[in-house]
Structure 1
Amino acid sequence: MNTLTLPPFAARVGLAVDIAAFAMHRSKLMILLVRRGIEPHQQSWALPGGFVHDGEQLAEAALRELREETSVSLSPNHLEQFYTFGHPGRDPRGRIVSVAHLAVLPHGTPAVYGGGSVTAAAWFEAHEPPPLAFDHADILAHALRRLQVRLEYAGLALEFLPDTFTLPELQEVYEAILARPLDKRNFRKRILAQGLLEAAGERRNGVGRPAQLYRRAKRLRSPRV
């Protein structure tokens, strides 16, 4: 007798992934969206995503869907699983559970092209997106909160920047994610006390005084209390 079967009361569930992919562009936090080419919600904007294939890892599915629908290829270290959305009525096709992933794209917004079952892909301001399909507005809101939490303990802002950068450029990332301005003097004092940065030994010429360049510290030190 085969006992390795699901009990009859187990729900029949489809497993999907959705990806909230963020990047910085001209001091603004951007989110990558796709226009759906099929029902439900045909022609609506949505987060990239789709169903997990048989035998596929969740991260593999997320990276594949992102690549197929937007032409963006990422390495797994740019991806983080952050929440699961499983309300019974979230998808009119049936009970679909989505495992949401957060992605950070370094060095700006690459060109994107719609593929697969979507008709277009485009970047939008993350804090002012268009109406979204399914519960993707809720997923995006959770992703933004996750970004804001990670700012406080994981040096997340550095992932949006090139290897060397100025403190004003770093402050722009913080302000874009938090959606509010920060005091320049207090920001400089607090960020340098965290021990995440070290001087790169270079300056960038521009208007006025050359700006000191910084980089991620090779050996993190404990922040001063």
Structure 2
Amino acid sequence: MSRLTLPPQATQVGLAVDVAAFAMHGGELRVLLVQRGALPHARDWALPGGFVYPGEELHEAALRELRTETTVQLEPRHLEQFYTFGEVNRDPRGRIVSVAHLAVLPHGTVHVTAGGHTLGAEWLSAHQPPALAFDHHAILDKAIGRLQLRLEYGNLAMEFLPDTFTLPELQGVYEAVLNRRLDKRNFRKRLLSQGILTPSGERRTGVGRPAQLYRRAKHARIAAL
């Protein structure tokens, strides 16, 4: 049997992944960024990412790059492909197509340092990031838009929180992701009417009145879009 060959006009394309990994820190939506240690864009901030290995699934490549370029070893609470970036001149090394992934890291994921060939790694403001390498500003903007859509149609906000949480904590996630304030009464009325929350039977004590704790209802799973 003859081997199939590409036509002479076919373009040689490199396949890569980039990961927009989010978490809540101090009531602010943060994105995990790394400082590149190699050309091009050496010392610039970028999303974790790199080339896909032969025989490697795309989600496996995304997890490998996330764990190699940073010290984050925890399994994301959520990981999905959300867009493909393939502009002709997006990378000076050649024609490289990147399959972008969105990740939500577990509650409490704070400490992170550089790994592999990166010079640094930090959780920085998602809505006000520093200058980014390649087209990573466009990737981050698209990821935030996807995240905002997921709040309304995928119940993703709860993935940023521990298993039990208060309504003000949940509202804080919505406000951080949407980057705007929400009316407290309308927010609670809408969320409780959807049937996606159930009281845990516990209250959080501290300053002021003990707050009712909630958890995700058993039937409320992250919806596929």
Q: By the TM > 0.5 criterion, same fold?
A: yes
Secondary structure at 1:118's aligned position in 2? Answer: coil
Q: Distance in 1 between matches of 2:160 and 2:97?
A: 30
Partner of 1:93: 93
Partner of 2:103: 103
Partner of 1:165: 165
Q: How many residues align?
A: 221
Partner of 2:65: 65
Q: Distance in 2 between matches of 1:14 and 1:93?
A: 10
- Say if 2:77 and 2:104, in contact at 8 Å, map to a contact too: no
Partner of 2:78: 78
Query: In the TM superposition, what is the alpha-carbon distance from 1:90 to its structure 2 partner?
Result: 0.2
Secondary structure at 2:119's aligned position in 1? Answer: strand
Q: Distance in 1 between matches of 2:151 and 2:38?
A: 37
The amino acid of 2:73's aligned partner reads: S
Partner of 1:18: 18
Partner of 2:47: 47
Query: In the TM superposition, what is the alpha-carbon distance from 1:220 to its structure 2 partner?
Result: 4.4
Partner of 2:142: 142
Partner of 1:123: 123
Secondary structure at 1:123's aligned position in 2? Answer: strand
Gaps of 5+ in 1: none
Secondary structure at 1:152's aligned position in 2? Answer: helix
* Residues 76 and 220 (structure 1), Cα distance of their counterparts in 2 relative to 1, 3 Å cut: closer
How far does the alpha carbon of each residue in 1:162-211 deviate from its partner, in whole angstroms, 9 at most, with x for none? Answer: 01000000000000000000000000000101111000011111222110
Q: Distance in 1 between matches of 2:196 and 2:71?
A: 33
The amino acid of 1:87's aligned partner reads: E
Alignment of 1:156 onto 2:162: no
Query: In the TM superposition, what is the alpha-carbon distance from 1:106 to its structure 2 partner?
Result: 1.8
Q: Distance in 2 between matches of 1:74 and 1:210?
A: 32
Q: Distance in 2 between matches of 1:188 and 1:76?
A: 27
Alignment of 1:8 onto 2:8: yes
Gaps of 5+ in 2: none
* Residues 19 and 176 (structure 1), Cα distance of their counterparts in 2 relative to 1, 3 Å cut: same
TM-score after normalising by structure 1: 0.95
Q: Aligned-pair RMSD on alpha carbons?
A: 1.4
Partner of 1:208: 208
Q: Distance in 1 between matches of 2:210 and 2:22?
A: 30
Secondary structure at 1:114's aligned position in 2? Answer: coil
How far does the alpha carbon of each residue in 1:82-136 deviate from its partner, in whole angstroms, 9 at most, with x for none? Answer: 0000000000000000000000012133311212221111110100100000000
Q: Distance in 1 between matches of 2:191 and 2:68?
A: 38
* Residues 194 and 172 (structure 1), Cα distance of their counterparts in 2 relative to 1, 3 Å cut: same
Query: In the TM superposition, what is the alpha-carbon distance from 1:74 to its structure 2 partner?
Result: 4.0
Q: Distance in 1 between matches of 2:198 and 2:139?
A: 35
- Say if 1:108 and 1:160, in contact at 8 Å, map to a contact too: no
- Say if 1:31 and 1:126, in contact at 8 Å, map to a contact too: yes
- Say if 2:29 and 2:125, in contact at 8 Å, map to a contact too: yes
- Say if 1:63 and 1:73, in contact at 8 Å, map to a contact too: no
Detail structure 1 runs of 4+ shifted over 4 Å in the superposition.
Answer: none
